[in-house]
């Protein structure tokens, strides 16, 4: 739907724009399925509401999910490492530094993967720790660790702005030591369910959401932003939107966070996602 058509469709009302985390939010934590949220997703897309993925997942992973759902839209990769905007998606100029490649305008906010990898190697050698990530492990071993099929692991391994280390090889105390050394390289680590994710210290989802929201405002005029997440790395995302929504974790608890106006939605992952969309957007 063209930008002008969307403005007409919403008849002067603010255009809703949804920013959503994936793993544990739109997707089920262990199976990565979106079946529980499929109907709400389809309702969102039918109404021309932009659905923006904002995740630790790579470009290839997010493209794959978009293809399965049958739509194209901007998306935010690797916890805010970059914003990918399909060419011709917006009918306005993009006023942020970007490059154009592979059919996208790419706003790069993170540290390039090669620099992240070099820091990992340096710290590993300095501390004598077994810091092993996607760049070190064979495909078969990553498949066993994650339960993913080889094609999915291949998409996850094509990192551009972050590295994922498997924490089973080091202790919590050693990870804290690694965190201190990462600061020397302008990097930081975030512990997630399966991996310790290393990215730029100034890279977060909130900065990327703020930039993309500004572009949407230029293209659509008035917008209303919604954000959905489940974990601590979603705090910047939820802090950057007008309507922050937190879904439950697999144990039916909510991540501890203090964000004004936060809606704690009952329902684990995609079940909570669907309930939140229907409650907030009435669809």
Residue 165's DSSP bridge partners are 133, 196
H/E/C letters for each residue in 181-198? HHHHHCEEEEECCCCEEE
Cβ atoms 145, 166 nearer than 8 A: yes
**45 and 71 inside one domain:** yes
Q: What is the pTM (predicted TM-score) of this model?
A: 0.93
Neighbours of 140 (CB within 10 A): 10
**192 and 219 inside one domain:** no
Residue 196's alpha-carbon distances to 57, 138, 281, in angstroms, are 13, 18, 35
Question: What is the CATH number for 153?
Answer: 3.30.980.20
**149 and 224 inside one domain:** no
Per residue in 237-281, pLDDT (tens digit) is 999 999 999 999 999 999 999 999 999 999 999 999 999 999 999
In 3D space, the residue among 269, 275, 277 whose CA is nearest the CA of residue 243 turns out to be: 277
Q: Which of 21, 23, 136, 234 is catalytic?
A: 21
Structural domain boundaries, residue 243: 3-110+203-281
Q: CA quadruple 77, 212, 30, 252: dihedral positive or negative?
A: positive
Spatial separation of the C-alpha atoms in residues 19 and 241, rounded to whole Å: 8
Structure-token pair, residue 157: 């391994």
**214 and 88 inside one domain:** yes
Domain end marker among 200, 232, 260: 200
**263 and 249 inside one domain:** yes
Cβ atoms 241, 34 nearer than 8 A: no
Give the per-residue pLDDT at 3: 67
Segments in the chain below pLDDT 50 = none
Question: What is the CATH number for 79?
Answer: 3.40.50.1000
**119 and 103 inside one domain:** no
Could you give the number of structural domains in the chain? Answer: 2
Q: To the nearest 5 percent, what fractions of the chain are helix, strand and coil? A: 40, 20, 40
DSSP string, 25-65: TTB-TTT---GGGHHHHHHHHHTT--EEEESSS-HHHHHHH
Side by side, the strands of the sheet bearing 196-200 are 163-165, 196-200, 187-191
Domain end marker among 153, 171, 200: 200
**12 and 149 inside one domain:** no
Q: Which residue has 């739509």 as its token pair? A: 71
Domain end marker among 166, 200, 234: 200
Spatial separation of the C-alpha atoms in residues 29 and 27, rounded to whole Å: 6
Give the per-residue pLDDT at 5: 65
Active site residue 204: no
Give the per-residue pLDDT at 1: 61
**31 and 93 inside one domain:** yes
**207 and 175 inside one domain:** no
**104 and 174 inside one domain:** no
**141 and 233 inside one domain:** no
Spatial separation of the C-alpha atoms in residues 264 and 1, rounded to whole Å: 32
**182 and 207 inside one domain:** no
């Amino acid at each position: 739907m063209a930008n002008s058509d969307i403005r007409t469709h919403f008849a002067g009302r603010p255009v809703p724009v949804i920013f959503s985390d994936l793993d544990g939010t739109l997707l089920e934590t262990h199976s990565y399925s979106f079946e529980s949220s499929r109907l709400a997703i389809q309702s969102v897309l039918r109404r021309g509401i932009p659905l923006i993925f904002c995740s630790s997942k790579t470009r290839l992973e997010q493209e794959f999910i978009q293809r399965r759902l049958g739509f194209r839209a901007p998306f935010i990769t690797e916890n805010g490492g970059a914003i990918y905007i399909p060419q011709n998606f917006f009918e306005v100029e993009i006023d942020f530094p970007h490059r154009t490649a592979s059919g996208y305008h790419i706003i790069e906010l993170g540290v390039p993967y090669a620099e992240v990898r070099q820091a990992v190697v340096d710290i590993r050698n300095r501390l004598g720790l077994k810091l092993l990530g996607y760049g070190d492990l064979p495909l078969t071993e990553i498949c066993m660790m994650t339960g993913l099929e080889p094609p999915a692991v291949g998409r996850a391994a094509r990192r551009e702005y972050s590295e994922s280390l498997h924490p089973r090889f080091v202790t919590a105390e050693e990870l804290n030591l690694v965190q201190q050394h990462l600061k020397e390289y302008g990097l930081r680590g975030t512990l997630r369910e399966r991996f310790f994710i290393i990215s730029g210290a100034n890279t977060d989802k909130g900065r990327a959401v703020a930039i993309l929201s500004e572009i949407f405002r230029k293209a659509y005029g008035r917008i209303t932003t919604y954000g959905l997440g489940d974990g601590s790395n979603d705090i910047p995302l939820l802090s950057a939107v007008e309507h922050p929504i937190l879904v439950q974790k697999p144990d039916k608890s909510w991540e501890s966070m203090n964000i004004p106006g936060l809606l704690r939605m009952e329902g684990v992952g995609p079940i909570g996602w669907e309930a939140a969309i229907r409650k907030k957007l009435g669809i």
